Amino acid sequence: MRVRILQWGGDRDEPDVERTASHRTSRMWWPISPESIARVPKGDPVDTVMSDKGRMYRNAGRSDVAELQVSMEKRARHALGSHEPKPLKYKDVPKAVESARDAFENDPFFHYLSDTPDRNKARFEKQRKDISTILTLYAFIRSRHALTVNSGEAMAFYRLAPNDTPVSSPLNRMLDAIAKRTQKALGIFQSPEQRKRNAEAIAKRDAILKKLFGDEISDMAELAGLATAPAAQGRGYGTALVREVTTIADAYGRSTWLVSSNVNNTGFYESVGFRVVGEFALGENNPTWGKAPVIIRIMVRPYSTH
């Protein structure tokens, strides 16, 4: 197993005290979004950050936050036009599934998982992938952590830092548990080699994340997925979606990490503030894989107030 780890130390421009639990308790960070405004209790002061300008709005009343929200939305619409990210809705899922399927058609990671000598033993491959994508999208829609441009033509989904994630409702927890069991059950239709490669990918990913971040990952947001339909690529949709996610992470005072399954995407992620902090290879010691090893990169965008 070849693992390459680059230096990761977080945002060194910020003093350590900014990372402490007591700091986060005494100074609440709210993403500037309709969902965050809805979570502010009436009559309670909140502490908000407008990270794109590096200005901090502290102890603002509910009406002041609402006015700030309207102002930011107007500027966002003016700057982004049709690129403005919006929450992904259930009605967008069919289009989103098609966009994701087309976007990852030539992805080397997914080819490694699927292109096995015993592929003929796998069953319902297309249906399995679509069902898995649907279950994933539904889960992020339930948590309100799924964004889209043009109703599923491009999408991003993310996870807040585990230490920032609120407890979900009993219904959502039940639905999430059902979805996870269904995802696991779909594995019975994979071929033996496909299951072996999938296990290899998970083990290597988990190992490098532990080496890179350790317990610090509980204080980091994750860009869990990003896809744009090939016909819509090059229009700035992906950039708008990633910046929306990192703005939310910044509002919580968090860095953002991701796993990139295609080295050709490195330049794009670097253009929106990410940098490679580690990588691992799949297939390098697998005699059934006759191609070059597939390189998977871990990237981080440090928390920023700008």
What's the mean pLDDT when you consider all of the chain?
A: 81
48 domain-assigned: no
What span, in angstroms and rounded, lies between the C-alpha atoms of 259 and 250? 19
What span, in angstroms and rounded, lies between the C-alpha atoms of 166 and 145? 12
76 domain-assigned: no
Give bridge partners of residue 226 from the DSSP assignment.
156
Question: What pLDDT shows up at residue 7?
Answer: 44
284 domain-assigned: yes
Residue 1 has pLDDT above 60, yes or no: no
**Contact in structure between 152 and 159 (CB atoms under 8 Å):** no
30 domain-assigned: no
User: In sequence order, what are the residues at sequence separation of 6 or more whose Cβ sits closer than 8 angstroms to the Cβ of residue 75?
Assistant: none
CATH number for the domain spanning 289: value is 3.40.630.30
**Contact in structure between 296 and 264 (CB atoms under 8 Å):** no
| Alpha carbon separation from 279 to 4, 58, 78, 225, 292 (Å, rounded) | 5, 39, 38, 18, 15
40 domain-assigned: no
Per-residue pLDDT of 141-170, as tens digits, reads 999 999 999 999 999 999 999 999 988 899
Per-residue pLDDT of 109-140, as tens digits, reads 999 999 999 999 999 999 999 999 999 999 99
50 domain-assigned: no
Per-residue pLDDT of 184-203, as tens digits, reads 999 999 999 999 999 999 99
pTM of the model: 0.74
Token pair 């500027």 in the structure block, residue: 75
Per-residue pLDDT of 260-277, as tens digits, reads 999 999 999 999 999 999
Q: Residue 83: which pLDDT band, with cuts at 50, 70 and 90?
A: confident
Neighbours of 39 (CB within 10 A): 12
Q: What is the DSSP secondary structure assignment for residue 219, as one 8-state letter? A: G
Percent of the chain with pLDDT over 90: 70
| Alpha carbon separation from 250 to 23, 37, 53, 238, 257 (Å, rounded) | 15, 16, 12, 18, 12
Residue 249 has pLDDT above 60, yes or no: yes
118 domain-assigned: yes
Q: How many domains does the chain contain in total?
A: 1
Residue 36 has pLDDT above 70, yes or no: no
Instruction: Tell me the Cα Rg of the chain.
Output: 20
Burial 63-84 (b: 16+ CB within 10 A, else e): eebeebbeebeeebeeebeebb
283 domain-assigned: yes
Query: 262 lies in which domain range?
Result: 3-25+83-301
